[in-house]
Chains A and B, each alone.
Chain A
Amino acid sequence: MSTVSWITARGLFGRRRFLLLFPLPAVLVLLAVLSRALGVDPGEWGPPVLVGLGLAVVLPVVALIVGTGVLGAEIDDGTVVHILTKPLPRWQIVLPKLAVATGVTAVTVAVPLYVAGVLAHSVRLGLALAAAATLGALAYSALFLALSLLTRRPVLLGLVYVLIWEGLLGNFVSGTKVLSIQQYVIALADRIAPTGLLETTVSVPVAAIMTALVSVGFTVLAVDRLRSFSVAGETS
């Protein structure tokens, strides 16, 4: 574990507010357990819990908070200078941070999704959801990490993507689904464990290729932006 990833992990876990992330997955598990215990048909509670809550809200929101936190918090504090002045290639800064963000997001989201998937259908669905959520965590983290280098307001721009692009337009304009990480995750999970619970219009090859493209592309972009990064003051 490199020093940069160590610092990043400590920066994330060392603050009390990070504990605020845990109610989100807890609600997911709680609802799944409650529905299962009361004997509701999985066909009814599966889609709202697994997709509506898990993949559409918990995954992007956790990825947004963690992904913009690993680098954005240091840029905000100005402490990013300490890392930038070390004789490290930029990719050795971006990649460990991306790894930490992906790992934390994946663990926080995949575990409750696995539990919910097992309760909804089978162990296979649980594993499929966990695997797809991990890939989604990578793509989202790369996107939000790059955003925190492209703009001074990464969280708001990320919220525009999550709320307006994926949430609002995804419901009305079906074409935008081709450019939505959420749909890729659903497509991948449905491919690994075909059940009637997950529905999407994006084909699996498109989803796989686009997920890889998003992950690699935004990571390369982040490395490139960090190469010519200028430390500016507080925005107005």
Chain B
Amino acid sequence: MSEPTGVIHDIGYQRYTGPRLGRRHVFGALYLHGLRTAFGLGRSAKAKIFPWLVLGIVTVVAAGVTAVRSQIGEVVMTYAQFADNMSWLVIFFVAVVAPELVSRDLHSGVLPLYFSRPLPRGDYALAKLAALGSALWLLLGAPQLVMFLGAAFTTTDGMSGVWNELLDLLPGLVYAALWAVVFASVGLLIASLTGKRAFAAGGIVAVFLMTAPIVGILSIMPSRTVNELAMLGSPTALVHAVGRYTLGDLLIPGGQTEDQIGGFGPVYVAAAVLLVAGCVALLLMRYRKVAAR
């Protein structure tokens, strides 16, 4: 028997000895990455086409509304109404962004890599949800800011005019946040069910569009209670109903708020909270177990 001749060389591998940032930083990094993904930042030009198309359209609309108001003095839509009028674009934006955020990770099977970090399962889902929600809020909020700046610089009442505009703007931004939360939670839940971006996008649009006519049908049923509860039928209408109840005049100028939802305002608020809570709970459940591939 010859002596073993092999030697184990020390080729200088070193352990990482620097600070370990931990859970909060992982969450923050994932959130920031998600937000950048939503607008295609840091990615190729192709990934930017659709998000910026939507962003461009809403900005152009806001600029147009501002121009009409400053030139002719006619208020085409209030800040809160802006979100309502852009609902189709919001749906499209969710259909573009939500699959990018979660379906890609499912498709390429990288989730085990994420979960081998100090990152609890829930955090992954919540970070993605927060990113989508923030992106939606920016999508709806930025044009309102454009409208506000236009109105503030053309106001004739000095500072009090600007202050009044600001008081109108803030509920509009809160309403945009409501839109963002509801649409993000529903959209992300649907997208997280499939690894195919195409199917996820189709599914999101199908759910949001299919539910809209249900409201139309329920609101012509021969029962006043059913009519007043009709807006529970779709997420879009649900958000609108909550807005009607809480914002009133700002959403529907001219005071026609009392019909349509009757005395069911609190029911709508509760339904919206339940919808968001349910979707988030299902989303967390979805990520309790993920396949490696």
Residues of A within 8 A of B222 (CB): 38-40
Report how far A159 CA is from B197 CA in the complex, Å.
13
Residues of chain B in range 200-214 having any CB-CB distance to chain A below 8 Å: 201-203, 205-206, 209-210, 212-214
A61–B206 touching, CB < 8 Å: yes
Q: Which of A64-72, A180-188, A189-197, A211-219 contacts B (4 or more CB under 8 A)?
A: A64-72
Task: Known pairs A31-B213, A159-B92; list 17 more (Cβ under 8 Å).
Answer: A24-B210, A31-B217, A38-B221, A38-B222, A48-B216, A53-B210, A61-B210, A64-B202, A65-B199, A159-B202, A163-B92, A163-B205, A164-B57, A164-B88, A164-B92, A168-B89, A235-B47
Can you list 23 A-B contacts with CB-CB less than 8 angstroms, sorted by A residue number?
A23-B210, A31-B213, A35-B220, A38-B222, A40-B222, A45-B220, A48-B216, A52-B213, A57-B213, A61-B205, A61-B210, A65-B199, A65-B206, A72-B198, A73-B196, A155-B202, A159-B92, A160-B92, A163-B92, A164-B57, A167-B88, A235-B44, A235-B46
- Is B43 an interface position by the 8 A CB rule? yes
A27–B210 touching, CB < 8 Å: yes
B88–A154 touching, CB < 8 Å: no
Given A17-B194, A163-B88, A163-B92, also A57-B220 (CB < 8 A): no
Binding site for B on A (CB under 8 A): 17, 20, 23-24, 27, 31, 34-35, 38-40, 44-45, 48-49, 52-53, 57-58, 61, 64-65, 68-69, 72-73, 76, 152-156, 159-160, 162-164, 167-168, 235-236
Residues of A within 8 A of B199 (CB): 17, 65
Binding site for A on B (CB under 8 A): 43-44, 46-47, 50, 53, 57, 88-89, 91-92, 95-96, 194, 196-199, 201-203, 205-206, 209-210, 212-214, 216-217, 220-222
Report how far A48 CA is from B201 CA in the complex, Å.
24
B45: nearest residue on chain A (CB-CB)?
A236
Residues of A within 8 A of B96 (CB): 156
A44–B213 touching, CB < 8 Å: no
Residues of B within 8 A of A154 (CB): 198
Report how far A53 CA is from B236 CA in the complex, Å.
15
A164–B89 touching, CB < 8 Å: yes
Report how far A65 CA is from B206 CA in the complex, Å.
10
Residues of B within 8 A of A76 (CB): 196, 198
Residues of A within 8 A of B50 (CB): 153, 156, 160
Given A61-B206, A156-B50, also A48-B217 (CB < 8 A): yes
Report how far A163 CA is from B198 CA in the complex, Å.
15
Residues of A within 8 A of B88 (CB): 163-164, 167-168
Residues of A within 8 A of B221 (CB): 35, 38, 40
Most buried by A among B89, B96, B196: B196
Residues of A within 8 A of B213 (CB): 31, 48-49, 52-53, 57
Report how far A31 CA is from B95 CA in the complex, Å.
26
B46–A31 touching, CB < 8 Å: no
Q: What's the least CB distance linking B145 to chain A, in Å?
A: 22
Residues of A within 8 A of B210 (CB): 23-24, 27, 53, 57-58, 61
Q: What's the least CB distance linking A214 to chain B, in Å?
A: 21
Given A61-B209, A76-B198, A155-B202, also A31-B214 (CB < 8 A): yes
Report how far A155 CA is from B205 CA in the complex, Å.
11
Q: What's the least CB distance linking A116 to chain B, in Å?
A: 11
B96: nearest residue on chain A (CB-CB)?
A156
Residues of A within 8 A of B202 (CB): 61, 64-65, 155, 159
Q: What's the least CB distance linking B224 to chain A, in Å?
A: 13
Report how far A17 CA is from B120 CA in the complex, Å.
29
B217–A159 touching, CB < 8 Å: no
Q: What's the least CB distance linking B83 to chain A, in Å?
A: 15
Report how far A49 CA is from B206 CA in the complex, Å.
15
Report how far A236 CA is from B40 CA in the complex, Å.
10
B57: nearest residue on chain A (CB-CB)?
A164
Q: What's the least CB distance linking B82 to chain A, in Å?
A: 14
Most buried by A among B95, B194, B213, B222: B213
Q: What's the least CB distance linking B195 to chain A, in Å?
A: 10
Sorted nearest first, the 9 A-B pairs with minimum C-beta distance are A53-B213, A48-B216, A155-B198, A236-B44, A65-B202, A57-B209, A52-B213, A44-B220, A31-B217
